[in-house]
Structure 1
Amino acid sequence: MALHNRVSADLLKQRLAEENFRRVTISFYQYAKIADPQLFRDELYTGLFDLGVFGRIYVAHEGINAQISVPEHNVDAFRQFLYTYDFLNGIRLNIAVDDDGKSFYVLKIKVREKIVADGIDDPNFDITHRGQYLDAPAFNELSADPDTVIVDMRNHYEFEVGHFDRAMEVPSDTFREQLPMAVDMLQDQKDKNIIMYCTGGIRCEKASAYFLHNGFKNVYHLEGGIIEYSNKAKELGLPNKFKGKNFVFDDRLGERIGDEIISHCHQCGEPCDDHTNCKNEGCHLLFIQCEKCAAKYQGTCSDDCQSVLNLPEEEQKKLRQGIDKGNMVFNKSRQRLRPRLGED
């Protein structure tokens, strides 16, 4: 058996559309010492492939980070398989809040240097010396204190469409940039209670350890992140303090948590919180676009990209050759879309 996919994306998407069963989107992570990440990766791939699991998983010496889609009839078997590993036995599984079952169409498991790219090269940094967990009731209680500092440890485009009441944005493109930036921003608030949160818990857990490493004292992080908070708030009948949509890194690009729409279309300015990628494959910019602008620009982010989209495919391919798109995300702090094909 090949331990990687060999089928075209188009065919895989067609097979997903033809499935006659429901899928459940699940995320989980665990910081742990994995002696042989490649061996663990191959064992994991074999077991999950047999269960029909799709998704994206990163494995490193420091642990595992997974976002997956599991056939509903195999969820129990998946859980049993996962729990055969001692360091994953009993691990919390975050179940997606707003799930259409179409979050992934292929299984990809990659060995990385770290499961979260953090830029930390200090050998004295200890991920196990982390902040205190807060569950949903404790988060609501502590965050109600006006002296508590609430820090969003996600990227700027995630914060833009949804965040907790009174949350502080650390306006960065990557977690690597964000860690030192957040420490600098809060230097004068070291004695306050600081709560960190992120999508599923993995980034804020590492951030809480980084803050303690940098001399902060009263550091907390939301257990299970926004996903677990939302599920528990519904289950326990708690007030939901999250406003808007939770950005997710799969084909859904977001799940509805709060009813509010707190962001705007990047093209016309109308209220909207639907992310999309520019349909011009030479651009593929991630940005917010309303239905009217999607129709007007054919799903592209600009007149230039729309013009490219309507060229013959061979001409589009020629224009794409040698282009380094970099981190193609619309950044509202720059107040413009990044350069496109055909621009200087």
Structure 2
Amino acid sequence: MFLYNRINKEELKQRLAEESFQRKTISFYKYHILDDPQKFRDDLFRDWYPMDCFGRIYVAREGINAQMSVPEHHFDTFLKTLEKYKILNGIPIKYAIEDDGKSFYKLTIKVRPKLVADGLDDGSYDVTNVGKHLSGIDFHEQIGKVNTVVVDMRNYYESEIGHFEGAICPEADTFREELEIVTDLLEDQKDKKVLLYCTGGIRCEKASAYLKHKGFNDVNQLHGGILEYSRQIKSAGLEPKFIGKNFVFDERLGESVNGEVISKCHQCGTACDAHTNCDNHGCHILFIQCPECAKKYNGCCTPECAEEKVAGKARSAEKRVGFGNSRKFRKSLSLIQAEQDKLTVQ
């Protein structure tokens, strides 16, 4: 048995489109020291591949972080496979807010140095000394109280399309950068109640421990992240305090929480919260684009990229780096501002 996918992307997507059964999109994570991450990775692939499980799973010596799509008719069997492993037995599972079953089209399991690329030396502070875990309901009730500050620990391209009311949303596009920004922003607020949140909770585990290490006295985190918050609030019949869409790292790129659209197309400024990647594969920047601009720019982020796509030319690395080190969002901010300046002049 090959322990990796050997089928091309186009065929895999076609197979997914032709499936006659339903899937469940789930996510889970756990920090737990693994003696042999590579063996654990290979064992998981042997368990999940025959069941047509798809997803993006990262394994590291410190644990596992998984986003998956599991066929409904195999779901009970899938859950039984979790019982085989100490790290996965009883692990909390989060379910997608909106689920069309098309979140992933293949199974990818990778071994990485860390679950979250934070750039920190874990030996320099106690990573197990995390903040207080708050349920979705408790977190909901704390928002807006005196001497309480809410902090979005996701990247800016995530928070731009959706965030909690009154939350601090740093303009960062890496977790490492965000830790530094948040620490500086809250330097004079160490005695306030700090409420941290992210998509599923994994980034807050590291962030809360880091803030406590930096002298913050009352650090709290949303247990299960936005995904679990949405489920609990809906079950309780409450009006969510999260506005907009929750960004997700799969083919959907987002799922609405309260139905509002709070962001704009990066090219024309119309209300829009649909992320896409520039269709010039030499660029592939992540940005927000409305249907009209997608048609106008041929799925690309700028006229230059549209021209390169038609000509079949690959954008040089020098041009990409010219917008900044990140290809995900900072470049997007720069190019969109330049494009809007052009429109204003015209």
TM range (shorter): over 0.9
Where does residue 218 of structure 2 map in the other structure?
218
2:173/2:329 contact within 8 Å kept: no
1:40 maps to amino acid:
F
The answer to whether the aligner puts 1:330 opposite 2:329 as a matched pair is yes
2:28 maps to amino acid:
F
- The TM-score normalised by the length of structure 1 is 0.93
Where does residue 307 of structure 1 map in the other structure?
307
Where does residue 67 of structure 1 map in the other structure?
67
- Structure 2 CA distance, aligned partners of 1:97 and 1:295? 29
Deviates more, 1:126-135 or 1:148-157: 126-135
SS of residue in 2 equivalent to 1:48: helix
Q: CA deviation at 1:307?
A: 1.2
- Structure 2 CA distance, aligned partners of 1:118 and 1:41? 22
The answer to whether the aligner puts 1:238 opposite 2:238 as a matched pair is yes
**1:131/1:267 CA distance change after superposition, 3 Å:** same
Q: CA deviation at 1:306?
A: 1.2
Q: CA deviation at 1:330?
A: 3.4
The answer to whether the aligner puts 1:128 opposite 2:128 as a matched pair is yes
Where does residue 53 of structure 1 map in the other structure?
53
SS of residue in 2 equivalent to 1:80: helix
Q: CA deviation at 1:51?
A: 1.6
> Gaps (5+ residues) in structure 1?
none
- The TM-score normalised by the length of structure 2 is 0.92
Where does residue 344 of structure 2 map in the other structure?
none
- Structure 1 CA distance, aligned partners of 2:337 and 2:270? 20
SS of residue in 1 equivalent to 2:87: helix
Where does residue 13 of structure 2 map in the other structure?
13
Where does residue 4 of structure 2 map in the other structure?
4
- What do residues 25-72 of structure 1 show as CA deviations (whole Å, max 9, x unaligned)? 111100111111001011011101122111111100111000111001
**What is the aligned-residue identity percentage?**
54
2:326 maps to amino acid:
N
- Structure 1 CA distance, aligned partners of 2:31 and 2:209? 12
> Gaps (5+ residues) in structure 2?
340-346
The answer to whether the aligner puts 1:255 opposite 2:255 as a matched pair is yes
Q: CA deviation at 1:304?
A: 0.9
SS of residue in 2 equivalent to 1:188: coil
- What do residues 297-333 of structure 1 show as CA deviations (whole Å, max 9, x unaligned)? 111111111112222xxx43xx357678563223399
- What do residues 121-168 of structure 1 show as CA deviations (whole Å, max 9, x unaligned)? 151322221001111111111113132100000001111000000100
- Structure 2 CA distance, aligned partners of 1:218 and 1:34? 31
2:287/2:332 contact within 8 Å kept: no
The answer to whether the aligner puts 1:154 opposite 2:154 as a matched pair is yes
- Structure 2 CA distance, aligned partners of 1:161 and 1:258? 12
Q: CA deviation at 1:8?
A: 0.8
2:121 maps to amino acid:
D
List aligned pairs for 1:18-57, cutoff 5 A: 18-57=18-57
SS of residue in 2 equivalent to 1:310: helix
**Over the residues paired in the alignment, what is the CA RMSD in angstroms?**
1.9
1:330 maps to amino acid:
F
- Structure 2 CA distance, aligned partners of 1:321 and 1:181? 31
2:297/2:303 contact within 8 Å kept: yes
Where does residue 140 of structure 2 map in the other structure?
140
2:261 maps to amino acid:
I
Where does residue 173 of structure 1 map in the other structure?
173
1:330/1:336 contact within 8 Å kept: no
- Structure 1 CA distance, aligned partners of 2:337 and 2:89? 45
1:152/1:163 contact within 8 Å kept: yes
